[in-house]
Amino acid sequence: MGAMEKTGKDVRAGAVCGAPRTGWDLHCHTVFSDGKASPAQMLGQARALPDLTGVAITDHDSTAGWPQAQQAARATGVPLVRGAEITSDWKNRTSVHLLAWLFDPSEPTLAGLFARTRAERVERTRRMVEAISHDYPITWEDVLAQAGTAGLTTIGRPHIADALVAAGVVRTRSEAFATIVSGSSKYYLPVRSPEVTEVIAAVKAAGGVIGIAHAASPTRNAVILTDDDIAFFASRGLDALEVWHRENTAEGRARLLRLADRLGLLVTGGSDWHGTDGKPNRLGENLTADDVVEQIEERGAIAIVR
């Protein structure tokens, strides 16, 4: 079966080639990382979108939002996939974001890996703030004050951006990402994180399903993963590629679709939603086909909350 058949039932003219028009948004952030909305607000908004079958909570390097999201899924009747977006590194060349779904959150290796990355994120973000504070009027306390759920939120550059907005230095989060906190800014520091292969092994040990997020985004990746890189990850147990993401280029999507077909990987889509004022991305703007989510559930260690 070809990748297009796997992902797209859509034959309407004008649709992005093969992108599902109904299905699941498998890539969403809440206040438990750098999103602006609570899990309850996310599920509430999802309920109002008729083309959306369900959503996934995929906060950065954390499962802390799962209990609230589960409660909200039951209250709204919107099905929920529990997951996370995991920061990893490939050969010290580029940061790779991995989406993991339906894993056992109590599995010690994976839980330890999350704790380690969050500690690294605090340290790195604190050092960036220290350097920025020499030139702009923000403190580490100002940045912590922007993190939604004290102590439970995965800290990152978006919280520095929010502190810069609050101090009147820039107008929006996106303006900060285009300047002071951008990847090419003199203040930028990478997050030290585990190798892709280590994360795949940990997620597999926890019974989860794992894909590469926005693999064909030139802004999100310092170096674009090659076909050989992705084939190697597939040999280590990678399940999926996020093809339908606003930052993947058209040629990149075509390449990922061909690769998914050749390597037998699932094709997913997600909005990378960060709340209405967190990022321009709209909830449900990119979707994963229902039958793909069925396969993800078959492979996963825990059930979809319905």
Residues in contact with ligand AMP by CB under 6 A are 34, 156-158, 173-174, 177, 191, 272, 274, 278-279
Which of 37, 90, 58, 5 has its CA nearest to residue 276?
37
CA–centroid distance for 291 within its chain: 21
According to CB under 5 A, which residues from 6 to 35 bind Zn ion? Answer: 29, 34
Q: Does 61 bind Zn ion (CB under 5 A)?
A: no
Q: Which does 174 bind (CB under 5 to 8 A by kind): ligand AMP, Zn ion, Fe ion, none?
A: ligand AMP
Are the C-beta atoms of 191 and 95 separated by less than 8 Å?
yes
Shortest Å distance, C-beta 112 to ligand AMP = 20
Are the C-beta atoms of 70 and 82 separated by less than 8 Å?
yes
Q: Which is nearer to Zn ion, 34 or 229 (CB)?
A: 34
Q: Which residue is nearest to ligand AMP (CB)?
A: 156
Task: Find the radius of gyration of the CA atoms of the chain.
Answer: 18
| Amino acid at residue number 269 | G
Say whether 247 sits in a helix, a strand or coil: coil
| Amino acid at residue number 224 | I
Q: Which is nearer to Zn ion, 84 or 257 (CB)?
A: 84
Q: Which is nearer to ligand AMP, 204 or 220 (CB)?
A: 220
d(CA 172, CA 279): 9
Q: Which is nearer to Zn ion, 61 or 142 (CB)?
A: 61
| Amino acid at residue number 196 | V
Which of 68, 9, 6 has its CA nearest to residue 37?
68
Q: Which does 83 bind (CB under 5 to 8 A by kind): Fe ion, Zn ion, ligand AMP, none?
A: none
User: Which tokens hold the place of 26?
Assistant: 């498998």
Q: Which does 211 bind (CB under 5 to 8 A by kind): Zn ion, Fe ion, ligand AMP, none?
A: none
Shortest Å distance, C-beta 231 to Fe ion = 22
Phi, psi angle pair for 242, to nearest 5°: -85, 100
Q: Which does 160 bind (CB under 5 to 8 A by kind): ligand AMP, Fe ion, Zn ion, none?
A: none
Q: Which does 278 bind (CB under 5 to 8 A by kind): Zn ion, Fe ion, ligand AMP, none?
A: ligand AMP
Binding site for Zn ion (CB under 5 A): 29, 34
